[in-house]
Chain A
Amino acid sequence: MSHNTEVLDQKTLWGGGGSPFKVSYGKLMIWFFLISDALTFSGLLCSYGFMRHKFTDTWPSANEVFVHFPFMGDAHIPLLYVGLMTFILILSSVTMVLAVEAGHRRSRKEVQIWLFLTILGGFFFLFSQVWEWSHFIHGTEAGAIKDIIVDGEWVTQRIHGANLHYNEYGNVLFGDFFFFITGFHGFHVFSGVMINIIILIKVMKGHMDKTGHYEMVEKTGLYWHFVDLVWVFVFTFFYLV
């Protein structure tokens, strides 16, 4: 329509030639990825809530399942360990956002320090989760007597801990959802740590100074915060509620 000469008001309408949201392509796309990932986790947590609501009478309370703390032997300390894990993840989220902030000032040294601390926190969290899983799988010494399926037949026997087939503490589905959701989240943490390591190496080699900006740190930061965000919900719905 060449005869249409109306001029767009550039302040109110997007006239092309730039990003409509004033963010780069990569940042917008990582946000879209995070939305889809958030929907996946929401679906998992929702199905968990569904089953928990349905089998509420056999559902174990997390306060009676996760009661151990390192170097405290068999002392009954609910929630504290997972509270510590949450603290570590929040702390690593802060160090990540401080790395992003340092990147905005083009301070390579500070970015390296904060990124390194973030990676450390990520590893700490991962090992904590391994410790927690191992306690859950091995269970208590006393165990519990349950009806389980062995070779296609129901057998009553004493079992210890939990896996995908049986659960000492209560409903089998509790274990299934625990392994799947914390496992899926743990894998996110693992890949986040790996991505952070790659970015740290790139920062150390000076790639970000060559491109003139530290936006890559910001993008991985978004992913890392998302992992923290998911944990906030997992923490509430698995351990607190």
Chain B
Amino acid sequence: MERDDQIEYSLYISHTEEEGKILRKRLWKVFWILLAVTIFEVGMGYMFAGNAEYKTMLMYTFIVLTIVKAGYIVLIFMHLGDEMSYLRRIILIPYCFFIAYLLFIAITEANFTFDIGWILG
């Protein structure tokens, strides 16, 4: 039976030796970036463990760095950056929209229940 599910539809199903060399270089570069970010995070966490003064600033730094790491993984490792822009959008936009909504609900509710706890003692 002849297969029609991917051979001509897939954009990045094969590449040559030279293209592979460039791709591998990019992949290793991303690996070093991810490693550097992780080491930086662990170092910061280690240095400022239990230090209340920097806690909020550190928290936001970690969250931003996490999103940077996630971006590298999704766009480079999962090749989403190489796919068609429509596919990229159809995957990322609904997801980000739901998460923004979920976070809004969760933070609002948690603040509310936290305040109620104080009132009720």
Contact = CB atoms under 8 A, between A and B. Distances in A.
Interface string A31-65: 10001001100110011011101101000010110
Interface residues of B, number: 65
Contact of B5 (A20, A26, A39, A101): A26
B11 A22 contact: yes
Contact-residue size bin, chain A (C-beta under 8 Å from the other chain): 35 or more
B9 A24 contact: yes
Contact of A232 (B16, B70, B111): B70
A39 to B, nearest CB: 6
A25 B16 CA distance: 24
Given A46-B103, A236-B62, A101 B38 contact: no
Contact of A104 (B9, B15, B73): B15
B70 A101 contact: no
Contacts of A215: 6, 10, 13
A211 B110 contact: no
A127 to B, nearest CB: 20
Contacts of A221: 78
Interface string B9-51: 1111111110010011001101100110011011001100110
B54 interface: no
A86 to B, nearest CB: 5
A83 B62 contact: no
Interface stretch (A3-11, A91-99, A153-161): A91-99
The 10 closest A-B pairs by CB, nearest first: A24-B6, A83-B42, A53-B110, A19-B9, A21-B87, A63-B49, A236-B66, A94-B31, A50-B110, A46-B106
